[in-house]
Structure 1
Amino acid sequence: MRILVIGKNGFISRCFQDYMKRYPDIEVTAISARNEKWKYYNFHGYDAVYNTTGLAHDDARKGSREQFMELNAILPAGLAKKAKAEGVRTFINMSSLIIYSETSALGTEKIITSSTIPIPDGIYGESKLAGEIALSKLNDKNFRVAIIRSPLVYNENATDNFLKLKEYALRCPLFPAINNSKSMVYSDNLCELVKLIAENGSGGYFYPQQEVHICTSKLVKDLATANRKKMILTRIFNPILYLLSKKMLLIRKVFGTFAVDMNESNHFAGKYRVVSYEESIKRLVGRRE
């Protein structure tokens, strides 16, 4: 089997390229999409094209609406049209749960199902949803479009807010105790899902996540415990956090509930979950088994 990855150096692409080294019988090639050279690359002979490109939500303050639409909607459609014309069986596209908005207010639940109507509240979600709509029009019995509505993808090399959370857990002794639920997926599990989609020529919508919803407070405590650090969860900060969360998106993103119903994520009978939550915690602190 041959898989062509669009996007060479991004976090998701690098995770997939590294993961697939354990399957020498599957050929994986990665090319950049930063220029238009992909238009002249031969897609013939590939079983699947996996698009990992796009502007991320953290770039919202830097990118224009036109740039977001170009990279998250127009480019994926162009790639898929070329793949279809050149005989590729499956096109796999990275989308995001942010098409349903970014988060929820503290103390409220936002549980997503396949019947939940996407209502993005920013240009990142809007552009990702526009890309999904354009791609869905290309799907037919001979060309399957798989759209991965991904939650936060984490591993020991993750950056941005997840890295900050990990660093906090390993350095500080106190953290707020707030009950919430989040969908997250360890990178190996996402990569295995992509492999299974490519192998089976599957189409449709996919909602990967760990076998359990993750509570932010428990995650921080679990990281500290795995690293043999003491961590006390306290509610003393909760009134202030609830008040600040009304104006601060970051607090809502960290402590709000934003999760997919587990029944929506049992793809391939859950076989894509090759790394459990508990094992992922060990890996995050360098205790891989």
Structure 2
Amino acid sequence: MSKRKILITGRGSYVGTSFITWLQQWPDQYEVTELSVRGEDWKGHDFSKYDAVLHVAGIAHVSTDPKMEQQYYKVNRDLAIEVAEKAKKEDVKQFIFTSSIIVYGDSSHINKKRVIDRSTIPQPSNFYGNSKLQAEEGITLLESDDFKVVIIRPPMIYGKGSKGNYPRLASFARKLPVFPDIENERSMLHIDNLCEFIRLIISNNEHGLFFPQNTEYVKTAEMVRLISVVYEKNIRFTKAFNPLLRFIGDYVGTINKAFGNLVYEQSMSNYKDNYRVRDLKESIEETEAEKL
């Protein structure tokens, strides 16, 4: 059986780099090439030898500065569509675009449970989410019998080397003696579960819209507890701060980032093959292992 050839467009991304490492378990089945799509040189690269293109290039959700708006659209939308057009023109059979749960709006809240299901209409609340959604729409229009398009809308991704909220929580777990015990639920996705999902999507030559997530929803306090166990730290969990945090949550965005509620309805994330290779406890141990 010949190797499946995969091109990752976007050099050095967290998802792309992790995926390359993940596929090393099957050296006889996959051949991966990473390509920078900065500048114009990538346009001269021959795409015709690849079975699938995984597009991970993009500007992350790091700025709400209006001056950045055009750059977000240029990179997250226009570049993504341009890469997809080249892939289709050069007879690549499958194009995978990594979008985000953020297309539904940046609205997790400490006082409100929000459940996204298949009927939920995307309503981006900022130009990051809107640039991702417009990229999805432009790429989906290119789909044909010979060009399969996959859109993946993951929730918060975490794992070894990840950025964003998770490292912040891990830092709290290592340093704080007390942590708020608030009941909340978040959909999250460990990087190994995402990598296995992408591998299966490529192996099965899929097309369509997908919402991978961990098997279980995550409660922030439980995640902090699991991290503290790895470091053998004794954290006391208390509900004493809950009324204050719930009050502040109506005014302070960072409280909602830490303790908000935002989940995908569970059945949306089912797939015919098991991609959830790590449960929450294992994923925390895996993520924190090298830091000890």
Q: TM-score, normalised by structure 2?
A: 0.94
In the alignment, what sits opposite 2:237?
233
What secondary structure is seen at the aligned counterpart in 2 of 1:49? Answer: strand
Q: Which deviates more, 82-91 or 242-251?
A: 242-251
In the alignment, what sits opposite 2:280?
277
Please report how far the alpha carbon of residue 287 of structure 1 lies from its aligned counterpart in structure 2 after TM superposition: 7.9
CA-based RMSD: 1.6
Q: 1:82 aligns with which of 78, 81, 86?
A: 86
Q: TM-score, normalised by structure 1?
A: 0.95
Q: 1:286 aligns with which of 266, 286, 289?
A: 289
Cα separation, 2, equivalents of 1:63 and 1:111: 32
* Cα distance per residue 1:62-121 (max 9 Å; x no partner): 862211111111111111111111111110001000000112322211111111000110
In the alignment, what sits opposite 1:93?
97
In the alignment, what sits opposite 2:197?
193
* Cα distance per residue 1:34-56 (max 9 Å; x no partner): 11211111001211000001111
Cα separation, 1, equivalents of 2:109 and 2:277: 32
For 2:219, give the aligned amino acid.
C
In the alignment, what sits opposite 1:24?
27
Pair 1:114-2:114 in alignment: no
* Aligned 8 A contact 1:50 1:92 in 2: yes
For 2:43, give the aligned amino acid.
K
In the alignment, what sits opposite 2:146?
142
Q: Which deviates more, 15-24 or 115-124?
A: 15-24
Please report how far the alpha carbon of residue 285 of structure 1 lies from its aligned counterpart in structure 2 after TM superposition: 2.7
Please report how far the alpha carbon of residue 61 of structure 1 lies from its aligned counterpart in structure 2 after TM superposition: 3.1
Please report how far the alpha carbon of residue 131 of structure 1 lies from its aligned counterpart in structure 2 after TM superposition: 0.6
Cα separation, 2, equivalents of 1:267 and 1:141: 22
In the alignment, what sits opposite 2:13?
10
- Percent identity at matched positions? 35
* Cα distance per residue 1:11-61 (max 9 Å; x no partner): 111111211222212000001111121111100121100000111111333
In the alignment, what sits opposite 2:57?
53
* Cα distance per residue 1:190-219 (max 9 Å; x no partner): 111111111111111111111101111111
Unmatched segments (≥5 aa) in structure 1: none
In the alignment, what sits opposite 1:167?
171
What secondary structure is seen at the aligned counterpart in 2 of 1:286? Answer: helix
For 1:278, give the aligned amino acid.
K
* Aligned 8 A contact 2:150 2:209 in 1: yes
Cα separation, 1, equivalents of 2:67 and 2:155: 22
Deviating above 6 A after TM superposition, structure 1's stretches of 4 or more consecutive aligned residues are: none
Aligned residues: 287
